[in-house]
Amino acid sequence: MRAFRIPFFVLILLVVLSLANTVAMTRHCDQWSQTLDAAQKAVADERWSEADRLLKDLQKSWASRSVWLRVVLSHNTVDEAEQLMDRARLMVSLQEVTHARDTMAELNGVLERISGGEQLSLSNIL
């Protein structure tokens, strides 16, 4: 029975860390999605400086967690989100309503995919 104590505690620790990661990722993705939604509304109303400020805030928040994101997510996913953020800011700076909206919608899809992919489920465990 003693031989199982350490592996059991390691397993419990891994489950707790997985749950903490899921909660943190969901919270951050929700925050980023809210910021992105506000930026989309600003673009729709052609409030370009506000949209740019919101996207800049989104990029700063994302960058402050970039090391953690690269540990828990696929590098391709992180790169895709960063490229979409850059493209969205470019489209806002060019005041391209359609392209900005399309790019932000695509970025929102990536954020939803990230959030959903980090949920604790049997398919994610296996």
Q: Indicate the domain borders of the chain.
A: 2-125
Token digits of residue 54: 């919101």
pLDDT digits over 17-28, tens only? 888 888 889 999
> In the prediction, which pLDDT does 120 show?
53
pLDDT mean over 22-40: 94
The whole-model pTM stands at 0.83
Token digits of residue 112: 């939803």
> In the prediction, which pLDDT does 20 show?
87
Cβ-based neighbours of 118, under 8 Å, separated by 6 or more:
21, 22, 25, 26, 72, 73, 124
Domain spanning 2-125: which superfamily?
IL-4 antagonist (De novo design) like domain (1.20.120.660)
Is residue 124 over pLDDT 60? no
